[in-house]
Amino acid sequence: MHSVLDSSIFFSECPVAGEIFTTPSVCGELVDIRSRGNFEKLCANGLQVISPGGQSRETIRAAAITSRDAGVISETDIDLLALALELEAALYTDDFAIQNVAAVLGIRTVPIHQRKARRVHWKYRCRGCGRYFNHDGECPVCGSAIKRKLK
């Protein structure tokens, strides 16, 4: 599966699967240490930076007029959508205007913060050291039993 990443993913710890891509315009928005660090980390995991072609950018502009988002969508947004269109990729974004335009063209979008929130649901806890796990069994750290946490 191909995934195209919006700049907000570099400000989160959201894990992404498959072959990952972003655009040079997104890279230009990553100016602080944290997002640059996440960018380097994802590059080490195979992140590719690609510019979309002019024709797919025109398709996105037309779709943005259809969804009435032409006034709010940025050049970076257009690049991301155009790249997702070209690669038939899922687009990771929390931006509503991008999601609207994507819907017009049948581009799949994956919300970043919703995914992140779901991941932080810990259900199991070690009786010995108190660490949290996502399964029961024996604690790999201290050897005590991991039990489902009672709420």
| CA separation for the pair 52, 78 (Å, rounded) | 9
Residue 124 in the binding site for Zn ion (CB under 5 A): no
Compare residues 63 and 126 and give the one whose CB is closer to Zn ion.
Answer: 126
How far are the Cα atoms of 14, 31, 39, 51, 63 from residue 28, in angstroms, in the given order? 20, 7, 11, 13, 25
Residue 145 touches Zn ion, criterion: CB under 5 A: no
| Least distance from Zn ion to the Cβ atom of residue 145, Å | 9
Find the binder of Zn ion among 5, 80, 89, 139 (CB under 5 A): 139
Amino acid at 130: G
Mark 99-118 with x for binding to Zn ion (rule: CB under 5 A) and - for no binding: --------------------
- Name the minimum Å distance from CB 150 to Zn ion: 17
| Residues 28 and 70 sit within 8 Å (Cβ to Cβ) | no
Nearer to Zn ion among residue 64 and residue 126 (C-beta)? 126
How far, rounded to the nearest angstrom, does the alpha carbon of residue 106 sit from its chain's CA centroid? 18
For every residue of 89-145, DSSP letters joined together read: -EEE---HHHHHHHHHHT--EE-HHHHHHHHT---EEETTT--EESS-EE-TTT-PE
Stretch that binds Zn ion, among 33-41, 82-90, 111-119, 134-142 (CB under 5 A): 134-142
Q: Does the CA dihedral 73-78-79-84 come out positive or negative?
A: positive
Rule CB under 5 A: choose which of 36, 141, 147, 149 binds Zn ion.
Answer: 141
| Minimum distance of Zn ion from residue 137's CB (angstroms) | 11
Closest separation in Å from C-beta 148 to Zn ion: 15
Q: Which residues bind Zn ion (CB under 5 A)?
A: 126, 128-129, 139, 141-142, 144
